[in-house]
Chains A and B, each alone.
Chain A
Amino acid sequence: MSEVAEKEPLLSKKNRKLLSDPLDDNNPITVQVLGICSALAVTSQLKPSIIMAICVIFVISFANLIVASIRKIMPGRIRMIVQLIIIAALVTIVDIFLKAFAFDVSKELSVFIGLIITNCIVMGRLEAFAMGNKPWPAFLDGIGNGLGYGLILIIVGGLRELFGAGTLLGFPILNADEGSFLHGIGYQHNGIMATPAAAMFIIGILIWIQRARNQKLVDIS
C-alpha cells in the first residue's frame, strides 16, 4: 500500500471514481443487474436493508482487499476456490457478529446473510477488479460497489416500508391505524409493497429513471 501512496494520493481522482462510479454509472444492481435476489428478498423493511447493505460493504471490500493482496501468489487454476473460501470466511464473521450483537435482525435476515456468499456482486468484483489491481484501489472498489448496492437496497427498502407498513425503521410516518387522520380520509397501506414483487417494480422504475437521465447507459446492455 505504501507503494501506491508514493505514486498517487490515497484519494486521487482515479480512486475517487472507483468510489463514485458504482453509485450511478456502473451501479451493480441497476446497470450490471447483479445481486437482484437479495434486493428482492430482504427489502421489505428499511432496517434489514441497511444491515444487509453494511454486511455486503464489509464482505465485498475486505474480500477485494485480501484477494488483491494475494493475487500474485494465488495459483490461477484454483483461484475460484480460494476466493470462495475468503468470502465464506468473511460472511461467517458477519453472521456470527450479527448473532452476537443483533440477534433480532439476524433472525430476520436468516439465510440471506449466508447467501452473501452467492451474491454475484462479490464474486464479480473479485474476478473483474481485484484480480488485476492493487489492494488499495481494490478495497475502494469494494466499498464503492457495496455502497452502490446498498443505495438501491435502502431506496427500495425505504419505499416498501413507508408505503407497505407506513413506518420507517419502525417509527410510524404514515399512520393509518383506527382513529388516525389518514384512516379518516380513507388511506390504506399498499399490500403489494409487502410482497417482493414490489421490489421488482421499484428496481425496474429506478432503472427506467436512471436511463432516462443518463443517456450513455442506454446502449450498454
Chain B
Amino acid sequence: MKFLRNIFDNLEPKVKDNKFLHTVYDGFETFFFTPKEVTTGPGVHIRDGIDLKRTMVLVVLALQLCLLFGMWNIGHQHYNALGLYPGVGDSIFTKFLYGALQLLPIIIVAHVVGLGIEFFFAAKKGHAIEEGFLVSGMLIPLIMPPDIPLWMLALAVAFAVIIAKEAFGGTGMNILNIALTARVFLFFAYPTEISGDNCWVAYDYNWLHSIFGMGDATMNALGLSSLPEGGWKSLVTDGFSGATPLALAAKGGWEAVTNQYTVSEMFWGFIPGSVGEMCKPAIIFGMIMLIVTRIASWRIMISMILGAVAMGLILNAVGANPFMQVPFYQHLIMGSFMFAMVYMATDPVTAAQTETGKWIYGFMIGFIGMIVRVLNPAYPEGWMLAILFLNVFAPTIDHYIYQRNIKRRLSRAA
C-alpha cells in the first residue's frame, strides 16, 4: 500500500497541468485509495460510508463466479462440439484455459473502449472519472456470445457509452442500462452474430490460443495433421448442436428441450449460451451477495419472478402451441432469466426508485419479458427488451407513486 501511495504521490505533480492525464490519474488514485474528502454536514441522502467506487467493485466481485464458470463453459462447449473430453470433469484446466483466452480479448476490448470514452468525456467536462463503467465493462462480456467479433463489440460499447450514457450526462444519469444497450445494438445491427444456433459456441482458435499451442494440441487429439478446408466448424461432430434450450423450446416445446438437455444440465449451466448467464448456482451466489450488501433490490427480483410466473401460468392455461405448454417453473432456469433478474433489472440507476415502484417495475419486466420470449418468434429471449422497455417507463412509474403519495398526504392535511 505504501508502495502504491508513493507512486501516486510522485506522479501527482507531473500530471497536474495536463487536463486529460490528471483525469486519468485521479480516476486511478481514487480507485486504489478511498479519497480523503468526505461529505460534511447533515444530508438526508447520505446513508452509508460506502462510495460509488466501492459499490461498483462489489458488483464486479459478485460477477466473478459467473465469469470463471463462463470461461470454463466456453471451453467445455468448444471441446464438446469437436467431440473431445465429453465429461464435465475431463481436462478442466484445458477447457478453462481455452475459455479464458477466448474471453480475455473481449473483456479487454470492452474495458479499453468504454473506459477510453469515459476518460475522454470526464476530461472534457472537467469531472472526475465516473466509475459506472466498471460494472458495465464486466457485464458486457458476460452477455455476449463467446465468439463475437471484436470490432463489433467495440462499436457496440462505443454506441452504448456515448448514446445511452454520456449523452444523458454520465454515470447515474442514464435512462437505459448500458450493458443491455450494447447488446441490443448488436442484436439489431448484426443479428447473425448474436442469434440463431451457431453463435453460442466458440469454434475457432485465436492468436492467444496459438501461443499456448492449443490448436495444434486439439488437432493431435483429433488425429489430424492439418486443418481441413472448412476450418474448425467443419470438424463439429454430427451429434452436437449449438442450439440453446429456448431455441429448442420454440421449435418443439419442453419435449425438444429435454431430448437434448437435462434439467440439471440447465441448472448447473453445461449448455451453450451467452458467457455468464448459464450457471444458476453462480448467479444465486452473486444474488445473495448483492442482497446482503443491499446493493441490489430484492423487491425487484421477487416481483420479477412473480411477473414471469404469472405470465407463465397464463401461457400454460392457454397452451396453444408447444412453447406455451412449457411448464412455467422451467422458464426460470432457461435462457438468461436469472442473470437478467439479478444483474440487469436491479441496476440501481435505471430501475424505479420508489419501493412500490420497484414492485411494479419488476413485475412488469417479468410479465412482458415472458410475452416476448414465448409469443414473439422474432426474438428468442425477452429480458433484454423487457428491461430496456421498463427502464424507459421507470421515471413514469415513480412519478405516479410520488403523486399518489402527495395526494394522500394532502388529503390528511385538509
Contact = CB atoms under 8 A, between A and B. Distances in A.
A85 to B, nearest CB: 42
B151 A186 contact: yes
B185 A188 contact: no
B281 interface: no
A121 B349 CA distance: 38
Interface string B147-173: 001011000000000010001000000
Interface in A192-218: 192-193, 195, 197, 201, 204-205, 208
Contacts of B30: none
How extensive is the interface on chain A, given as a class?
10 to 19
A191 B151 contact: no
Among B163, B188, B189, which residue has the most Cβ atoms of chain A within 10 A? Answer: B189
Contacts of B185: 192
Contacts of B167: 204, 208
B191 A191 contact: yes
A190 interface: yes
A13 to B, nearest CB: 36
Contacts of A193: 189
A192 B159 CA distance: 12
Contacts of B193: 188
A208 B189 CA distance: 22
A82 B192 CA distance: 53
B189 A192 contact: yes
A192 B188 contact: yes
B190 A190 contact: yes
Contact of A190 (B149, B163, B189, B192): B189
Main secondary structure of the interface of B (DSSP, over half): helix
B190 A191 contact: yes
B188 A186 contact: no
B157 to A, nearest CB: 15
A204 B159 CA distance: 13
Interface in B7-51: none
Contacts of B192: 188
A60 to B, nearest CB: 31
Contacts of A201: 163
A201 B191 CA distance: 19
A186 B148 CA distance: 11
B122 to A, nearest CB: 16
A188 B190 contact: yes
A191 B149 contact: no
A191 B152 CA distance: 12
Contacts of B191: 191
Nearest to B163: A201
A186 B149 contact: yes
Contacts of A190: 189-190
Contacts of A208: 167
B189 A191 contact: yes
Interface in B85-99: none
Contacts of A195: 188
A195 B152 CA distance: 18
Given A186-B149, A186-B151, A191 B163 contact: no
Contacts of A205: 163
A188 B151 CA distance: 10
A197 B181 CA distance: 14
Contacts of A186: 149, 151
A55 B193 CA distance: 40
A39 to B, nearest CB: 18
A190 B188 CA distance: 8
Nearest to A208: B167
B120 to A, nearest CB: 13
A205 B188 CA distance: 19
Among A190, A201, A204, which residue has the most Cβ atoms of chain B within 10 A? Answer: A190
The 10 closest A-B pairs by CB, nearest first: A192-B189, A190-B189, A191-B189, A192-B188, A186-B149, A188-B190, A191-B188, A191-B191, A191-B190, A201-B163
23 contacts: A186-B149, A186-B151, A188-B152, A188-B190, A188-B192, A188-B193, A190-B189, A190-B190, A191-B188, A191-B189, A191-B190, A191-B191, A192-B185, A192-B188, A192-B189, A193-B189, A195-B188, A197-B188, A201-B163, A204-B163, A204-B167, A205-B163, A208-B167
